[in-house]
Amino acid sequence: MSLIVSLHSAAKKHLKGCKGSLATRLAAEILAVDCGLKPCFLYDLGTADVLQIQRYLQALHQIGFIQGPLHILNIEGTIVIINVPRAACCMANVLNSGELYVIDVSATLLHPQVFSQDRLCFIQAQLSELLLHLTPYQNAPPGTISIADLPRTDWNLCTMFGFLLHYPAVYWFDTTKNFENCLSFTPLKHVTVETTCPKIGLCKVQVYSFTIPESVYQTLSSLLHTWTEGIRHKFNGQCHFTDLEIITENVTLPAVAL
């Protein structure tokens, strides 16, 4: 049985409605997490629960497609698949360096604003709490597919997912008033990281995709350069993906979902 057939079979068996090109794309996403090219994948391809996803990942390990360990975390109904050593390292580096870059995009603002350092204490505490959750899973043996549930938090999930996904700067907005933001028709820099996965015949795999408001882009230019170099370093340390491209383009959108 070919690798592609095995991947499609695993998805069809364990993930309802995930088949064909969708199953191939999902396999590429998981492989990128497994090899450390990115620390986390936010599962948004269907309605599978953590147990179904766990069985799917176990099947990928059994056919030798991934090595693991991987951790499946359900945060208030949203599922993320995490390379814990990679994610924990990224978050610990952010906390230890004190270089948290958070962009306030609350709907009450006229323009996005970078958080001042004195506003970051509560986000640092939340990030430490998330890191504490991941700590017991850092030394799991290869092949381990662990699961956990965080049913309720007081986190801004947009912010926490931004850190988990290893974005260089993350968004925050005031959820006590509403869940809107001030990014509508705001000029943005859209950064994507794309690559090729010859192993499963995919010519375009989007590893990262995020935006940064143009109004703060220059302020964060040094941070973005460091982040880009880190991505190149991780890319050079793996053998599953080729032809790395980091693309920056200007966009203005009528609405931006966070």
For residue 1, pLDDT beyond 70: no
Mean pLDDT of 231-256: 96
Q: Return the pLDDT at 161.
A: 95
CA neighbor of 101 nearest in space, from 173, 191, 168, 161: 168
pLDDT one-digit tens code per residue, 9-68? 999 999 988 989 999 999 999 999 999 999 999 998 878 899 999 999 999 999 999 999
Mean pLDDT of 120-138: 93
Q: Does residue 141 have a cis peptide bond before it, meaning omega lies within 30 degrees of 0?
A: no
Q: Return the pLDDT at 175.
A: 82
Read off the pLDDT band of 206 (50, 70, 90): very high
For residue 119, pLDDT beyond 60: yes
Mean pLDDT of 67-77: 95
CA neighbor of 166 nearest in space, from 233, 218, 59, 89: 89
Task: Name the region of 64 (left: φ>0; alpha: ψ -120 to 50; beta: rest).
Answer: left
d(CA 208, CA 40): 10
Q: Return the pLDDT at 118.
A: 81
CA neighbor of 228 nearest in space, from 211, 206, 208: 208
C-alpha dihedral, 182 to 183 to 188 to 193, nearest 10°: 120
Q: Return the pLDDT at 225.
A: 95
pLDDT one-digit tens code per residue, 131-183? 999 999 999 999 999 999 988 778 899 999 999 999 999 999 988 877 899 99
pLDDT one-digit tens code per residue, 213-235? 999 999 999 999 999 999 999 99
